[in-house]
Amino acid sequence: MEIEKYQRIAKVFGIESQRYQCRPFGTGHINSTFGLQETSETEPDYILQKINTHVFPNPEKIASNWKLAEAFIRASNKDYQIIRFLATLDGHDFFRDEDGGWWRLIPFVKNTFTCETAENPEQAYQTANSFGNLTRLLHGVSVTKFQTILSNFHNLSFREWQFNETVASATIERVEAAKELLKAKKSFAHITAEFESIQQQKLLPIRIFHTDAKISNILFSKSTRLPVCIVDYDTLMPGTILSDVGDMLRSMTSDTLEDEADLSKIKFREAFVANMLNGYLDAMKNIITKDEKRLLYFGGIMLVYMQAIRFLNDYLENDRYYRISFSTHNLVRAQNQFCLLQLMVDERKIIESKYLI
């Protein structure tokens, strides 16, 4: 980003912008994220983010949900660490630039690090426990006051419909390149059927979930190695338990990244899965329903499948949604997720009988 631009934006938030360098930060696929840091060696003091308004057309909904959550949690738990968004000098949650861009500024939490996958089972337990705590702390909040930030975001039936529409209008070249995955996808039709049956029977209560509960959205302390706080509240909204448990299982079951192209490296780590389920159950034990507990592992299967078709959908749509680094990036991501999914489906009976009964 040009120096003049970020300096001007930072000033609107009352920051002495000339002290900082502005560098790309993090691994998000959607928003553009920068760190404001004094030198390339120091940790940033602030995180500056430009919201992707193609994905989030109403960023004020994000601020509104975050404020409701913060106020509710604060009332019962003064010490809970929740990321703050700074207001501009004239009191707005975002700065809007002349091109219609929405910007926000977040103080960086010092002495922390992030991980793309869990390094040990204890970390998997802690991560799941943190996301479970967030939802438990929000138990009792008026769910209807929260906005649906992205409609149908984790609605698998919608994703299936969207996918079918995309396949029908994709280019011959892309469909040809995706041929094997389109074939593989067919064997997972039972997942959508199960999801629809759960929805129709209204088996799961609507609560407030983070809805992007991957391990990379946790800040860990460099000194204690324990979670300090959760970041990325962009999709904090009403939903079901399938979402958060799903993304945890998706991001920590294997030690590979979601774009690992060597499928032989993708592994099912039972000890990590067990710890995730236990960490989550420990946090939610007083409020979780029988059906929620029974369907925890299905959350992983549903979410990994949905993410596989979201990546494949984006590939077939010529990469409109996710940021890519090479031309087949979304195809590689989809292939990776289908491989992980197969491993997870194969282990389902064992995992459910051992940990969820």
State the nearest-atom distance from the C-beta of 55 to ligand GN1, in Å.
5
Using the contact rule CB under 5 A, the part of the chain among 57-65, 82-90, 99-107, 207-215 near Mg ion is 207-215
Tell me the pairing of strands 218-221 and 112-113.
antiparallel
Question: Which run of H or E residues covers position 129?
Answer: helix 121-137
Nearer to ligand GN1, 15 or 181 (CB): 181
Strand, coil or helix: 267: coil
Among 212, 260, 292, 314, binds ligand GN1 (CB under 6 A): 212
The Cα–Cα gap between 344 and 299 comes to 11
Nearer residue to ligand GN1 within complex by CB, 33 or 342:
33
Binding track, positions 53-92, relative to ligand GN1; x by CB under 6 A: --x-------------------------------------
Comparison of 311 and 355: residue with beta carbon closer to Mg ion: 311
Query: Residue 76 class from Cβ within 10 Å (0-12 exposed, 13-18 middle, 19+ buried)?
Result: exposed
Is there a contact between 263 and 184 (Cβ–Cβ < 8 Å)? no
307 binds ligand GN1 (CB under 6 A): yes
Q: Residue 179 or residue 320: which is nearer to ligand GN1 going by CB?
A: 320
Question: Token pair 């906005």 is at which residue?
Answer: 147
Residue 219 CA to residue 216 CA, distance in Å, equals 8
Query: Based on CB atoms, which residue is closest to ligand GN1, 255 or 270?
Result: 255
Q: What is the per-residue binding string for Mg ion in 231-260, x denoting contact by CB under 5 A? A: -x----------------------------
Q: How far is the CB of 212 from Mg ion (least distance, A)?
A: 4
Closest approach, Cβ 258 to ligand GN1, in A, equals 6
Among 160, 212, 244, 247, binds Mg ion (CB under 5 A): 212
Q: How far is the CB of 237 from Mg ion (least distance, A)?
A: 12
Report the candidate in 23, 6, 24 with the shortest Cα–Cα distance to residue 15.
6
Nearest C-alpha neighbor of 210 from the set 269, 137, 301:
137
By CB under 6 A, is residue 258 in contact with ligand GN1?
Answer: yes
Residue 101 as a binder of ligand GN1 (CB under 6 A): the answer is: no
| Total residue length of the chain | 357
Which SS3 state, helix, strand or coil, does residue 220 take?
A: strand
Contacts of 189 (CB under 8 A, 6+ apart): none
Contact yes or no for 131/246 (Cβ under 8 A): no
Residue 260 within binding range of ligand GN1, rule CB under 6 A: no
Q: In the complex, what is the shortest distance from the CB of residue 57 to ligand GN1, in angstroms, rounded to a whole number?
A: 12
36 forms bridges with which residues in the sheet? 22, 46
Maximum Cα–Cα distance for the chain, whole Å?
Answer: 59
> Crossing angle, helix 348-355 and helix 329-346, to 10 degrees?
60
Shortest distance, position 232 Cβ to Mg ion, whole Å: 4
Choose between 11 and 29: whose C-beta lies nearer to ligand GN1.
Answer: 29
Minimum CB separation from Mg ion for residue 79, in Å? Answer: 25
State yes or no: residue 244 binds ligand GN1 (CB under 6 A).
no
157: which residues sit within 8 A by CB, 6+ positions away? Answer: 192, 195, 196, 199
Residue with smaller CB distance to Mg ion, 66 or 355: 66
Contact between 299 and 243 (Cβ < 8 Å): yes
Q: Compute CA 219 distance to the chain's CA centroid, rounded to the nearest angstrom.
A: 14
- Tell me the two tokens of residue 54: 């193609």
232 near ligand GN1 (CB under 6 A): yes
Which of Mg ion, ligand GN1, none does residue 55 bind (CB under 5 to 8 Å by kind)? ligand GN1
Considering beta carbons, is residue 247 or 293 the nearer one to ligand GN1? 247
Binding site for ligand GN1 (CB under 6 A): 28-30, 55, 212, 232, 235, 258, 307
Which residues contact Mg ion by CB under 5 A?
212, 232
